[in-house]
């Protein structure tokens, strides 16, 4: 059943007035203006899925902003078919009234419990082993939740003997959920309702690089020329420059105080290397893994400092500008969160006007609204989906299985994925095998779904020489977005979950 | 004063006289710069904003932080 109609503002992709040197855009605004003056005020907008009715409620002028009303689920088709305009939600402001709340005093019993908890509890030592060889797994992060809802429990990292001492108190403890996240080489594990005691062992399944994970299920094929002629910039925490499966053509570190040439991995969890591998890894199973578009020219723009978990918008805008200067065709941004930021928005508009398409992650807020910058209309916002049968049982990805399921009941939208009308695409992002600085690892997230779609777009655009040859301006970006929209296939989740669907190449 | 980012929206490179005018604001330090932007700190914010009114190609933005989306639950 269609959802309630919502009001949106339509403005040009850049600025607030339709450009005179863009007759197509000008004609579009003029025709909406004429509709506003008509009796019905209903405009049938052309999209790649057919004509969609849109009510024009107001118009500032012939070539200026329009207030429209349409169904939220129609937005992806409208945005995909009219990339030279922005369709923005109407924002309502209210007075900034400061409220006052009285905080209840903590009860004495609660204070006693807190004081007791402050004393160091005794530890239970468990061992993490490889399921096939029985060898200890060192460097794995273990999180044992006694109460998952209140995030109570203990955590630690395994030593060279695969052992970790968990400060849980007592000689045995019932654990609601036990997560084990290995550094590399194994699938992350999730064990539910287990009682831990000294000597408990937890097996981890080794990664088999011939395994068909969700990315390979949708984007198989081993042609090393896939994506050739397309330059992709990865804005992230750097890409391991010495990984045998990756060829990084160049890039820049845009972090204040760090060397511009240091665009390799920043020493955290290898997120940027994993993202880059999903797009462009050139390895061959069983010793390596093949990305979605191994033929692309890959560039790394590092915006997270050495060991840092956060990046500034200055570094991100600088990286977007650098990708424009370096003539990237596509940019991947598997990052986000927080309030909309005018600086990054300006840089994204500049990238669009320079003929670049930016893909950004919807965010992992468990069905919250799409994060910024993905929510910015200059970005292709990507949600994450998974597919049953593309991860081993008793591994962490099982917890991300959730409704809605697609027309093919094996497909689902990952439980962690943010969703909303800004969603443009969905991509495989549950239990993804890819490169990490010390080998290969499995990660899940909209961070993984985004490069899968960036890679798919590169595969597609590599076959569209006429578009790639266009002058680097907003018409080129619009042509690329239209080509992507035409190649999308709906999987049956609904528009707010999947936008135009998955890029089918 | 917080750190601010000044972005030049003109088609040329950042004009030297504009840069000089920004740099002469008492107490203001240019912490980093790119071909289109300055990261600045210190000085009086109102003086900086007043000066930018005479330079329409410049916009001023607050420095913000981004993180990588994570799916791992954390023990508090």
Q: What percent of chain A has pLDDT over 70?
A: 92
In tens, the pLDDT along A110-123 reads: 334 444 445 667 89
Q: How many residues does chain A have?
A: 505
Q: Is the pLDDT of residue A103 over 70?
A: no
A369 at B interface, C-beta within 8 A: no
DSSP state of B31: E
pLDDT at A39: 81
Q: Would residue A352 show up in a list of annotated catalytic residues for this protein?
A: no
In tens, the pLDDT along B46-68 reads: 999 999 999 999 999 999 999 88
CB-based burial label for A2 (10 Å; 0-12, 13-18, 19+): exposed
Q: Is the pLDDT of residue A92 over 60?
A: no
Tell me which of A343, A370, A449, A473 to substitute to probe the interface with B (most B C-beta atoms closer than 10 Å).
Answer: A343
Q: What pairing do the DSSP bridges indicate for beta strands A201-204 and A124-130?
A: parallel
Give the mean model confidence (pLDDT) for residues A222-240: 97
pLDDT at A15: 62
**For residue A304, is it left (φ>0), alpha (ψ between -120 and 50) or beta?**
beta
With H, G, I as helix, E, B as strand and everything else as coil, classify residue A497. helix
Poorest-confidence range of A69-78, A474-483, A487-496, B33-42? A69-78
Residues of B in contact with A236 (CB under 8 A): 68
Can you tell me which residue has the tokens 């695969």?
Answer: A162
Which ipTM value was assigned to this complex? 0.89
**What does each C-alpha distance from A450 to A274, A425, A446, B46 come to in angstroms?**
12, 9, 6, 41
Q: How far apart are CA A238 and CA A275, in angstroms?
A: 10
pLDDT at A118: 52
Q: Are B72 and A343 in contact (CB under 8 A)?
A: no
Angle between helices A342-353 and A313-325 (to 10 degrees): 10
Give the mean model confidence (pLDDT) for residues B13-29: 95
pLDDT at A89: 65
Contact A341/B64, CB-based, under 8 Å?
Answer: yes
Of the residues A143, A236, A265, A269, which is catalytic? A236
pLDDT at A342: 95
CB-based burial label for A44 (10 Å; 0-12, 13-18, 19+): exposed
In tens, the pLDDT along A304-326 reads: 999 999 999 999 999 999 999 99
Give the mean model confidence (pLDDT) for residues A275-304: 98
The Cα of A503 is separated from the nearest Cα of chain B by a number of Å equal to 22
- Write out the DSSP string of A27-71: HHHHHHHHHHHSSS-EEEEEETTEEEEEEEEEESSTTS-EEEEE-
For the sheet containing A163-166, what is the strand order?
A163-166, A124-130, A201-204
Residues of B in contact with A153 (CB under 8 A): 75
**What does each C-alpha distance from B29 to A215, B33, B35, B48, B49 come to in angstroms?**
47, 11, 17, 12, 15
pLDDT at A83: 78
With H, G, I as helix, E, B as strand and everything else as coil, classify residue A273. helix
Q: How far apart are CA A69 and CA A307, in angstroms?
A: 46
Residues of A in contact with B32 (CB under 8 A): 256-257, 314
Q: Is the pLDDT of residue B2 over 80?
A: no
Q: Are A164 and A126 in contact (CB under 8 A)?
A: yes
Closest by Cβ to A179, choosing from B37, B39, B73: B73
How many beta carbons lie within 10 A of that of residue A114, not counting itself?
A: 10
- In terms of Cα–Cα distance, which of A166, A151, A153, A164 is closest to A117? A153
Poorest-confidence range of A60-64, A88-92, A222-226, B33-37? A88-92
pLDDT at A28: 83
How many beta carbons lie within 10 A of that of residue A159, not counting itself?
A: 14
Q: Are A426 and A382 in contact (CB under 8 A)?
A: yes
Q: Is the pLDDT of residue A443 over 60?
A: yes
Q: Is the pLDDT of residue A52 over 60?
A: yes
Q: Looking at A119-193, list the stretches that DSSP marks H as alpha helix, in order from N- to C-terminal side.
A: none
Q: Which residue in B has a C-alpha nearest to residue A310's C-alpha?
A: B67
B76 at A interface, C-beta within 8 A: yes
Contact A313/B34, CB-based, under 8 Å?
Answer: no
**What does each C-alpha distance from A419 to A85, A110, A403 come to in angstroms?**
22, 38, 13
pLDDT at A233: 98
Poorest-confidence range of A28-42, A341-355, B30-44? A28-42
The Cα of B26 is separated from the nearest Cα of chain A by a number of Å equal to 22
Query: ∠B43-B47-B52 over CA atoms, to 5°?
Result: 115
Tell me which of A117, A314, A315, A384 to substitute to probe the interface with B (most B C-beta atoms closer than 10 Å).
Answer: A314
In chain A, the largest separation of any two C-alpha atoms, in whole Å, equals: 78
More confident residue, A374 or A17: A374
Q: Looking at B1-76, list the stretches that DSSP marks H as alpha helix, in order from N- to C-terminal side.
A: 16-23, 45-52
Residues 318-357 of A with CB under 8 A from B: 318, 321-322, 325, 334-339, 341-343, 346-347
Q: Is the pLDDT of residue A163 over 50?
A: yes
pLDDT at A32: 85
Query: ∠A321-A325-A329 over CA atoms, to 5°?
Result: 90
Q: How far apart are CA A252 and CA A85, in angstroms?
A: 31
Count of alpha carbons within 13 angstroms of residue A302, beta-carbon side: 33
Q: Is the pLDDT of residue A140 over 90?
A: yes
More confident residue, A46 or A147: A147
Q: How far apart are CA B63 and CA A206, in angstroms?
A: 43
Q: Would residue A271 show up in a list of annotated catalytic residues for this protein?
A: yes
Confidence of residue A6 (pLDDT cuts 50, 70, 90): confident
- Residue A282 CA, chain-centre distance (Å), reads 22
Q: Are A126 and A168 in contact (CB under 8 A)?
A: no
Give the pTM.
0.83
Q: For chain A, what is the mean pLDDT?
A: 90
Beta bridge partners of A164: A126
């Amino acid at each position: 059943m269609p959802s309630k109609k919502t009001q949106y503002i339509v403005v040009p992709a850049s600025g607030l007035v339709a450009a005179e040197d863009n007759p197509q855009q000008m004609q579009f605004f003029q025709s909406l203006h004429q509709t506003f003056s008509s009796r019905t005020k209903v405009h049938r907008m052309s999209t790649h899925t057919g004509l969609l009715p849109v009510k024009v409620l107001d118009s500032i002028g012939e070539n200026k902003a329009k207030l429209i009303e349409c169904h939220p689920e129609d937005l992806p088709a409208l945005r995909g078919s009219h990339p030279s305009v922005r369709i923005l939600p109407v924002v309502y402001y209210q007075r900034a009234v400061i409220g006052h709340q009285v905080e209840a005093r903590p009860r004495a019993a609660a204070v006693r419990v807190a004081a007791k908890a402050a004393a160091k509890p005794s530890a239970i030592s468990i061992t993490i082993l490889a399921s096939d060889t029985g060898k200890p797994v060192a460097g794995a992060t273990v999180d044992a939740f006694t109460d998952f809802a209140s995030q109570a429990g203990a955590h630690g990292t395994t030593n060279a003997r695969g052992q970790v001492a968990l400060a849980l108190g007592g000689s045995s403890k019932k654990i609601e959920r036990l997560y084990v996240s290995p550094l590399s080489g194994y699938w992350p594990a999730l064990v539910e309702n287990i009682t831990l005691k000294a000597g408990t062992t937890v097996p981890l399944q080794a990664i088999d690089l011939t395994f068909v994970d969700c990315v390979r299920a949708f984007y198989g094929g081993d042609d090393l020329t896939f994506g050739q002629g397309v330059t992709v910039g990865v804005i992230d925490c750097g890409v391991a420059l010495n990984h045998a499966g990756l060829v990084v053509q160049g890039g820049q570190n845009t972090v204040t105080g760090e060397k511009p040439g240091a665009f390799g991995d920043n020493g955290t969890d290898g997120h940027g290397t994993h993202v880059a591998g999903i797009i462009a890894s050139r390895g061959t199973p069983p010793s390596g893994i093949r990305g979605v578009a191994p033929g692309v020219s890959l560039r790394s723009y590092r915006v997270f400092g050495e060991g840092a978990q956060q990046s500034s918008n200055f570094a991100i805008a600088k990286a977007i500008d650098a990708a424009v200067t370096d003539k990237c065709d596509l940019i991947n941004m598997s990052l986000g969160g927080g309030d909309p930021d005018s600086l990054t928005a300006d840089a994204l508009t500049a990238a669009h006007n320079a003929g670049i398409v930016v893909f950004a992650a919807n965010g992992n807020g468990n069905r919250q609204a799409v994060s910024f910058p993905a929510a910015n209309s200059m970005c292709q916002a990507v949600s994450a989906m998974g597919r049953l049968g593309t991860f081993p049982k008793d591994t962490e990805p099982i917890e991300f299985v959730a409704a809605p399921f697609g027309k093919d009941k094996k497909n689902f939208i990952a439980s962690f994925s943010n969703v909303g009308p800004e969603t443009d695409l969905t991509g495989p992002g549950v239990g993804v095998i890819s490169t990490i600085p010390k080998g290969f690892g499995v990660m899940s997230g909209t961070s993984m779904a985004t490069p899968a779609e960036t890679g798919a777009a590169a595969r597609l655009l590599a076959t569209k020489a006429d578009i790639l040859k266009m002058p680097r301006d907003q018409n080129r970006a619009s042509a690329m977005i239209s080509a992507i929209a035409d190649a999308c296939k709906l999987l049956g989740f609904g528009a707010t979950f999947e936008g135009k669907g998955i890029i089918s190449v | 004063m917080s750190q601010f980012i000044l972005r030049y929206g003109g088609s040329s490179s950042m004009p030297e006289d504009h840069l000089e005018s920004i740099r002469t604001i008492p107490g203001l330090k240019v912490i980093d710069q790119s071909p289109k932007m300055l990261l600045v700190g210190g000085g009086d914010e109102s003086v900086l904003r007043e000066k930018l009114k005479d330079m329409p190609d410049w916009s001023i933005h607050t420095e913000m932080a981004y993180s990588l989306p994570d799916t791992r639950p954390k023990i508090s």
